[in-house]
Chains A and B, each alone.
Chain A
Amino acid sequence: MKNKTKLYGKVLAEVILDGKIEDKKIVNNFVKILIDSGQEREAKEILDLAEDIVLAKQGKRKIVFETARHVTPNQRKTLESFVEKGDIVKEKINPELIAGIKIIIDNSRQFDASMQGKLQRIL
Chain B
Amino acid sequence: MTNEFLSQFGIDWKLFLSQLVNFFLILIILKLFVYKPVLKIIKERNKKIKEGLDKAEEAGVRLKEIDNIGKGRLKQAELDSIKIIKDTENRAKTLEHELQKKSEEKQDLMQKELQERYKKQQEEMHSIVFKNAVELVRKTIVATVELKPEAIDDALIKKAVANMKDEK
Interface residues, chain A, with chain B CB atoms under 8 Å away? 67-69, 71-72, 74-75, 78-79, 81-82, 98-101, 103, 111, 113-115, 119, 123
Q: Nearest chain A CB to B67's CB is how many angstroms away?
A: 98
Q: Nearest chain A CB to B70's CB is how many angstroms away?
A: 93
Q: Which chain A residues lie closer than 8 Å to B138 at the CB level? A: 98, 119
B158 at the interface (CB under 8 A from A): yes
The distance in angstroms between the C-alpha atoms of A84 and B154, with both chains bound, is 21
Interface residues, chain B, with chain A CB atoms under 8 Å away? 134, 137-138, 141-142, 145, 149-150, 152-154, 156-161, 163-165, 167
The distance in angstroms between the C-alpha atoms of A118 and B166, with both chains bound, is 20
Decide if A103 touches B152 in the complex (CB within 8 Å). no
Decide if A99 touches B164 in the complex (CB within 8 Å). no
- The verdict on A69 contacting B153 (CB below 8 Å), with A111-B164, A115-B141, A123-B137 known, is yes
Decide if B164 touches A101 in the complex (CB within 8 Å). no
- The verdict on A103 contacting B160 (CB below 8 Å), with A123-B134, A123-B137 known, is yes
Residue of B nearest to A120 (CB): B134
- The verdict on A78 contacting B156 (CB below 8 Å), with A69-B149, A98-B142, A123-B137 known, is no
Q: Which chain B residues lie closer than 8 Å to A98 at the CB level? A: 138, 141-142, 145
Q: Nearest chain A CB to B30's CB is how many angstroms away?
A: 147
Q: Which chain A residues lie closer than 8 Å to B149 at the CB level? A: 68-69, 99
- The verdict on A100 contacting B150 (CB below 8 Å), with A82-B165, A113-B163, A119-B137 known, is no
Q: Nearest chain B CB to A42's CB is how many angstroms away?
A: 31
Q: Which chain B residues lie closer than 8 Å to A81 at the CB level? A: 161, 165
Residue of A nearest to B134 (CB): A123
Q: Which chain B residues lie closer than 8 Å to A67 at the CB level? A: 153, 157
- The verdict on A115 contacting B157 (CB below 8 Å), with A98-B141, A99-B145, A103-B164 known, is no
Decide if B137 touches A99 in the complex (CB within 8 Å). no
Residue of A nearest to B155 (CB): A100
Residue of A nearest to B165 (CB): A82
Q: Nearest chain B CB to A94's CB is how many angstroms away?
A: 13
